[in-house]
Amino acid sequence: MDALFARLRQSTPQITESGQVFLIVGLGNPGREYKDTRHNIGFLTIDALAQTLEVKLSKVQNKAIIGIGKFEGSRVVLAKPQTYMNLSGQAVVGLMNFYKVPKENLIVIHDDIDLPFGTIRIRPKGGSAGQRGLGSTIDKLGSQDFARMRLGVGRPPGQMDPKDYVLQRFSKDEEEFLRALLEKACDAVKEFVQNGLNAAMNKYNGNT
């Protein structure tokens, strides 16, 4: 997986901060046993963004590992909640309150088994569709009106329990497709920060 992130690194111009603050949250579970699993694709996206934006994820705050950087004049807070998936909202709302992030500047990134592997869907609002981290965020925020990026990991094969499937690591064959998905997800986040949610949806909703 380290080799995968090496290709995602790129230099990004650092521009004087404009005062806008964005919170980019990737959902996942902490712990070595969950590292690089399908359910942690939100964490993987934050790791990829940190590489791309040259941000260090080195601070623990509000029950999350975070890193702070700048992109196109805005302050960007990257976060990986460490509460386990079903309590993710505690970290999200805590960080929003601390950094005074308006709901329109929040985007939550998570896995979705109902989308084909490699698919991105960005939405301005909606329910959790059973995704517990998203459900926790909706509950703690008291609103469904925030952006979310669904990253397709595909359906489990045969009769496999979806809970077992999402806790599996990506196969070697899947990693090449995963690289393309993470690259597109990073580009979509940057589009969201620079040009807004509608621009990101229009440009990136669909397959990698």
Alpha-carbon gap, residue 106 to 192, rounded angstroms: 10
The 3-state DSSP class for residue 112 equals: strand
Chain-centroid distance, C-alpha 103: 16
Alpha-carbon gap, residue 59 to 66, rounded angstroms: 5
Token output for 39: 């359910």
Estimate the share of the chain in helix, then strand, then coil, as percent rounded to the nearest 5: 45, 25, 35
What is the DSSP secondary-structure string of 95-110? HHHHHT--GGGEEEEE
Q: Are 195 and 204 in contact (CB under 8 A)?
A: no
Q: Are 186 and 45 in contact (CB under 8 A)?
A: yes
Chain-centroid distance, C-alpha 145: 17
What is the DSSP secondary-structure string of 138-151? HHHHT-S-SEEEEE
Is 39 part of the annotated catalytic residue set? yes
Name the catalytic one among 39, 70, 75, 179: 39
Token output for 7: 């290709």
Active site residues: 39
